[in-house]
């Protein structure tokens, strides 16, 4: 699985901590981690939590990533922005129980975490435990197990609702504020990470043209 990491400007100084926690769990399980930044508060390209959501939509809908790990100070802004995108099902994960239940019940494709609120001593251990609960287990297996089928059915209903209420990603890219879009993909490694992995040529071509 291709896992993308996105961190916004207020938490950019913690990129190395979050990236290390994520790779230490995901890579031994056979997953690949792609760090889209921000890498430091001094990066030339600055991401807001709104841009986190837009970038999450781009990566998941293009196939450049299978799962996105993002966040902000509380995790809520990035979660809301991500869930505004078509095809994105992002959960707010604060502790390992959140991570396990989101994986087993909702089986989403993105999580948003608080990197300021409650981020204290041994925070990296909490991150690692959360990532284990997401990536060690088969998603959508259900909890409790006897409710797995109704949970699967509800996920399908939610997916249909999302599809009915959202435009396709290319239309989103064409109609969103173009300066916002340019800023969201201005990261120093975006082109290096995105274009070789993108599987939707129309999305890739549109972004190249910017």
Determine if the pTM surpasses 0.95: yes
Tell me the CA distances in angstroms from 152 to 87, 89, 97, 157, 166, one per residue in order: 16, 14, 20, 9, 21
Q: Are 169 and 85 in contact (CB under 8 A)?
A: yes
pLDDT attached to residue 164: 96
Residue the block writes with tokens 């509800």: 154
With b for 16 or more beta-carbon neighbours within 10 A and e for fewer, the 53-76 pattern comes to bbbbbbbbbbebbebbbbbbbbbe
**pLDDT tens per residue across all 210 residues of the chain:** 999 999 999 999 999 999 999 999 999 999 999 999 999 999 999 999 999 999 999 999 999 999 999 999 999 999 999 999 999 999 999 999 999 999 999 999 999 999 999 999 999 999 999 999 999 989 999 999 999 999 999 999 999 999 999 999 999 999 999 999 999 999 999 999 999 999 999 999 999 999
Q: Could you report the per-residue pLDDT of 72-93, keeping only the tens digit for each?
A: 999 999 999 999 999 999 999 9
pLDDT attached to residue 105: 97
Q: In the beta sheet, which residues pair with residue 113?
A: 71
Q: For the chain, what is the largest distance between any 2 Cα atoms, rounded to a whole number of angstroms?
A: 50
Q: Identify the CATH homologous superfamily for domain 2-209.
A: Sugar-phosphate isomerase, RpiB/LacA/LacB (3.40.1400.10)
Q: Are 54 and 175 in contact (CB under 8 A)?
A: no
Q: Could you report the per-residue pLDDT of 121-149, keeping only the tens digit for each?
A: 999 999 999 999 999 989 999 999 999 99
Domain boundaries, the chain: 2-209
**Which structure tokens are listed for 12?**
């950019």
């Amino acid at each position: 699985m291709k896992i993308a990491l996105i961190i916004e400007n207020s938490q950019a100084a913690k990129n190395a901590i979050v990236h290390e926690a994520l790779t230490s769990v995901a890579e031994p399980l056979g997953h690949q981690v792609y760090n889209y930044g921000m890498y430091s508060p001094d990066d030339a390209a600055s991401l807001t939590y709104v841009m986190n959501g837009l970038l999450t939509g781009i990566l998941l809908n293009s196939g450049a990533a299978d799962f996105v790990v993002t966040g902000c100070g509380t995790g809520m802004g990035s979660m809301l922005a991500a869930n505004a995108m078509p095809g994105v099902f992002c959960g707010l994960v604060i502790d390992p129980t959140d991570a396990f239940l989101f994986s087993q019940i909702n089986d989403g494709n993105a999580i948003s975490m608080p990197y300021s609120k409650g981020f204290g001593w041994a925070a990296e251990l909490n991150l690692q435990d959360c990532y284990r609960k997401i990536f060690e287990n088969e998603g959508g297996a259900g909890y409790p197990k006897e409710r797995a089928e109704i949970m699967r059915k509800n996920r399908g209903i939610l997916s249909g609702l999302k599809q009915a209420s959202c435009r396709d990603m290319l239309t989103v890219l064409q109609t969103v504020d173009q300066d916002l879009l340019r800023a969201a993909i201005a990261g120093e490694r975006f082109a290096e990470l995105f274009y070789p992995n993108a599987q939707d040529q129309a999305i890739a071509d549109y972004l190249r043209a910017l």
